[in-house]
Amino acid sequence: MAAKQNRFILALDITGTFVFAIEGALAAIHAGLDLLGVMVLAFCTALGGGIIRDVLIGAAPPSALRDWRYPGLAFAGAALSFMFYRIIAAIPPMPLVVLDAAGLALFAVAGTEKALEYKIPPLNAALMGAVTAVGGGTVRDVLLTHIPAVLRVDIYATAALAGAALLVLLRRFGLAAKPAAFCGFMACFLLRIVSVLLHWHLPVLRP
Amino acid sequence: MAAKQNRFILALDITGTFVFAIEGALAAIHAGLDLLGVMVLAFCTALGGGIIRDVLIGAAPPSALRDWRYPGLAFAGAALSFMFYRIIAAIPPMPLVVLDAAGLALFAVAGTEKALEYKIPPLNAALMGAVTAVGGGTVRDVLLTHIPAVLRVDIYATAALAGAALLVLLRRFGLAAKPAAFCGFMACFLLRIVSVLLHWHLPVLRP
Amino acid sequence: MAAKQNRFILALDITGTFVFAIEGALAAIHAGLDLLGVMVLAFCTALGGGIIRDVLIGAAPPSALRDWRYPGLAFAGAALSFMFYRIIAAIPPMPLVVLDAAGLALFAVAGTEKALEYKIPPLNAALMGAVTAVGGGTVRDVLLTHIPAVLRVDIYATAALAGAALLVLLRRFGLAAKPAAFCGFMACFLLRIVSVLLHWHLPVLRP
C-alpha cells in the first residue's frame, strides 16, 4: 500500500517535470540565453519547486538530486526545446495552457502529499503543495529579473493553493489518499482552465 | 528553565511576525500585486528570515512550517492590510519606523538565540540573527526585483548585526540568556531609531 | 587517508573563498552599495555556492557556518577591497580572469567531491560541483537584480560543469580521488582560460 502510494507520487512527479522543463526552456530562449542558460532554466522551472519543498520539509537531499533521472528528464526537455524550437513555438497557446494546468495540478497534489508524509500540519502542507507547483516558475522569473508571474497574473498560484487545500480538507474528513488527490488535482486543473477562459482574476487595490 | 526560555523566544517570534507581515503586504499593494501576491509577500517578509535561518542551522522543517499559527498570523496581517489599507497607509511614518525597529530587534535576538541553541559558533550565530532580521525583507525585495534595501539604505542590517553581536559577546562574558537578549534588543532598537533621526549612514566608495 | 582527503578539500575551499570574496566586493562597490552591502556581497559570492550545495546535499548546517573562519575570510576580502579599492581596480583584467578561473575550478572540484562523499549520484554530484562554483555569483547577480552572468556569458558555468563531469567520470573508471580532482580542476581551468582568449561561446537561438 505504502509502496503503491509512493509509485503514484512518482508518476505524478515525472509527468509534471517534463512539461515544466519545456516551459522553462522556452522562457530562456525568449530571453536570449545560451544553451547552458536554457538547460539551467529548464532544470530550475521543472525541479525548483520540488527541491524547495524537500529542503523546507526536511527531506534533504531532495528527491530530484537523489536520482539522476530527474535532472536527465529536465535536460532532455531543454534539449528538445532547443532543437525543435520552431515546432514548439508554433503550437497555439491553448494546448500549452492545458498542459501547464495539468503540470500545476500534478505538482500541487504531489507536493501536498509529500509534506503530509513528512508530518507537516495540514494548512502548511497545502502551502508546500503550492510552493511545489509555483516555486520552479518563481525561481525562473527571479533569474530572468521579472516580478514572478504567479504574484501578478490571474488565477495560477491560487488554483494550486485551492487544489492543495481541498486535498488536505478531504483527507481531514477521512477520504483515502487517492480519491482526495484526484479531487485536489481536478479542482486545481479546472479552476485554472476556467479562469483563463473567463478571464477571472483576484482583486487588486489601486492605492 | 529551558521551557521558559523557549516560551520567551516564542513570544519574540510572534510579535515580530505580525509587524513584518503588514510591511510586506503594504509593499505588495504599492507594487500593484493582487490579493494572492499580497499574502505571499506578507508571508515571505514575516517568515522568510526565520525559514532561511532554520534551513541553514539544520532545523528543517522550520518552526514557521511546523505550526500552522505562524502562516495564519502572516495571512491575518495580509488580510488586515488589504481590508484597512487606507487607514494603515494614513499612519505617519515615525510609528511605523518604531514598530519596524522593534520587529528588527526582536528577530535579530531570537535568531541569534536559536542559532546558539543549535551549536552554531558565536560569530556565525550573530550572522544568523541578522539573517533572521533582514532575510524576509531581502526575499520581498528580490521578488519585487529591487536591489534589497538592506544593502543600500542607512543603518538597518547593521543595527541587527550590532544587536546580535552584542548578545553573543555578553553571553561569552557569562551573562545569562535573558539579560543578554535584552541588551542586544535595546542596542539594535536604539541604534536603528537614532540612525533614522540623525540620518546616519555607512560609508560608500564612489569609484 | 580520509583525514588527508578532507584537508585537501579544506585547502581548496579556503583559496577559492578569498578570490570570490574580492570579486563580490568589487561588484558591490561598482553598484554603489555601502560598506555593509560590500560585506554581504563578498559573503554571498564567496560562500553562497557552498552553502547552497550543503543545504541541498543534506549537510546543514553548511561548513561555512560551522566554522567562523569562513565568514571571517570573506569579510577580510571585503574589507581589503574596500580599503585598497584603487589598487585592486587598477589591476589589468587578465590576472583577474586567471584568478577567477582558478576559484571556479577549485569550487567545482571541491563541490563535486563533497557531493560524492554525501552519496549523491554521479551526474547530480557534478551538478552540485557546478552549483558550488557558480552559485555564489548567481546569488550576487540576483541581489544586484542582474540576469545572472553565468546564464548569458560565454564558457563559465559550462567550464565548471565540464570539470566536475570529468572528475566524476574518472572516478567512475577507477581513478583515485586526488588525480581525478586534479584532472577536473585542470579541465575547468584551461577550458575557461582558452574560451576567454578565443572568445568561445555556446549557441544561442534567435527566435
Tens digit of each residue's pLDDT, chain A (207 residues)? 344 556 766 666 677 788 899 999 999 999 999 999 999 999 999 999 999 999 999 999 998 999 999 999 999 999 999 999 999 888 888 887 888 898 899 999 999 999 999 999 999 999 999 999 999 999 999 999 988 988 876 789 999 999 999 999 999 999 998 899 999 999 999 999 999 999 988 888 876
Contacts of C84 (CB under 8 A, 6+ apart): none
CB contact under 8 A, C37 and B152: yes
| pLDDT at position A8 | 62
Residue C141, domain member (yes or no): yes
Q: Is C33 on the interface with B (CB under 8 A)?
A: yes
Q: Is B58 on the interface with A (CB under 8 A)?
A: no
Is the N-terminal amide bond of C122 cis, ω within 30° of 0? no
CB contact under 8 A, A123 and B29: no
What would the grid cell of residue A197 be?
477562459
**Spatial separation of the C-alpha atoms in residues A36 and B6, rounded to whole Å:** 47
Smallest Cα distance from A170 to chain C, Å: 32
Comparing CA positions, the residue from B188, B201, B196 lying closest to residue B130 is B188
CB contact under 8 A, B34 and A138: no
Q: From chain A, pick out residues whose CB is under 8 angstroms from the CB of B60.
A: 55-58, 60
**Candidates C57, C205, C206, partner chain A, best to mutate (most A CBs within 10 A):** C205
Q: From chain A, pick out residues whose CB is under 8 angstroms from the CB of B142.
A: 142
Residue A117, domain member (yes or no): yes
Q: Is C144 on the interface with A (CB under 8 A)?
A: no
CB contact under 8 A, C120 and A61: yes
Q: Is C55 on the interface with B (CB under 8 A)?
A: yes
* CA dist A51 → A129, B143, C18, C54 (Å): 12, 18, 29, 13
Residue B202, domain member (yes or no): no
Say how many CB pairs under 8 Å bridge A and C.
Answer: 82
Range of the domain at C117: 2-197
In contact, C59 and C130? CB cutoff 8 Å:
no
| pLDDT at position A149 | 85
Residue B95, domain member (yes or no): yes
| pLDDT at position B114 | 93
Q: What is the C-alpha R_g of chain A?
A: 16
Contacts by residues A82-86 (CB-CB < 8 Å, ≥ 24 positions apart): A82/A25, A82/A29, A82/A35, A82/A38, A82/C205, A85/A26, A85/A29, A85/C205, A85/C207
| pLDDT at position C12 | 65
Residues, chain C: 207
Q: Is C103 left (phi over 0), alpha (psi -120 to 50) or beta?
A: alpha
Q: Is B157 on the interface with C (CB under 8 A)?
A: yes
Q: Encode pLDDT of C141-167 as tens digits.
A: 999 998 998 887 678 999 999 999 999
Q: From chain B, pick out residues whose CB is under 8 angstroms from the CB of A157.
A: 36, 40
What would the grid cell of residue C195 be?
574560451
State the chains in contact with C (3 or more Cβ–Cβ pairs under 8 Å).
Answer: A, B
Q: Who among A30, A36, A60 is closest to C207 (CB)?
A: A30
ipTM: 0.89
Smallest Cα distance from A141 to chain C, Å: 10
Q: Who among A56, A127, A148 is closest to B143 (CB)?
A: A148
Say how many CB pairs under 8 Å bridge B and C.
Answer: 82
Whole-number average pLDDT of chain C: 90
Smallest Cα distance from A61 to chain B, Å: 12
Q: Encode pLDDT of A155-200 as tens digits.
A: 899 999 999 999 999 999 999 988 999 999 999 999 999 999 999 8
Residue A165, domain member (yes or no): yes
CB contact under 8 A, A41 and C128: no
Per the listing, cell 526560555 goes with B5
Residue A204, domain member (yes or no): no
Q: From chain A, pick out residues whose CB is under 8 angstroms from the CB of C150.
A: 36, 40
Residue A173, domain member (yes or no): yes
Please give chain C's pLDDT, 207 residues, in tens: 344 556 766 666 677 788 899 999 999 999 999 999 999 999 999 999 999 999 999 999 999 999 999 999 999 999 999 999 989 888 888 887 888 898 899 999 999 999 999 999 999 999 999 999 999 999 999 999 989 988 876 789 999 999 999 999 999 999 998 899 999 999 999 999 999 999 988 888 876
**Spatial separation of the C-alpha atoms in residues B189 and B171, rounded to whole Å:** 19
**Spatial separation of the C-alpha atoms in residues A55 and A61, rounded to whole Å:** 7
State the chains in contact with B (3 or more Cβ–Cβ pairs under 8 Å).
Answer: A, C
CB contact under 8 A, A61 and C60: no
Please give chain B's pLDDT, 207 residues, in tens: 344 556 766 766 677 788 899 999 999 999 999 999 999 999 999 999 999 999 999 999 999 999 999 999 999 999 999 999 999 888 888 887 888 898 899 999 999 999 999 999 999 999 999 999 999 999 999 999 989 988 876 789 999 999 999 999 999 999 998 899 999 999 999 999 999 999 988 888 876
| pLDDT at position A5 | 56
**Spatial separation of the C-alpha atoms in residues B122 and B109, rounded to whole Å:** 13
Q: From chain A, pick out residues whose CB is under 8 angstroms from the CB of B28.
A: 151
| pLDDT at position A54 | 96
Looking at the structure of chain B, the number of domains it has is 1
Residue C88, domain member (yes or no): yes
Q: Who among A29, A55, A144 is closest to C56 (CB)?
A: A55
CB contact under 8 A, B142 and C144: no
| pLDDT at position C8 | 62
Q: From chain A, pick out residues whose CB is under 8 angstroms from the CB of B61.
A: 56-58, 118, 120
Contacts of B160 (CB under 8 A, 6+ apart): B104, B105, B107, B108, B129, B130, B133, B134, B188
What would the grid cell of residue B96 be?
511605523
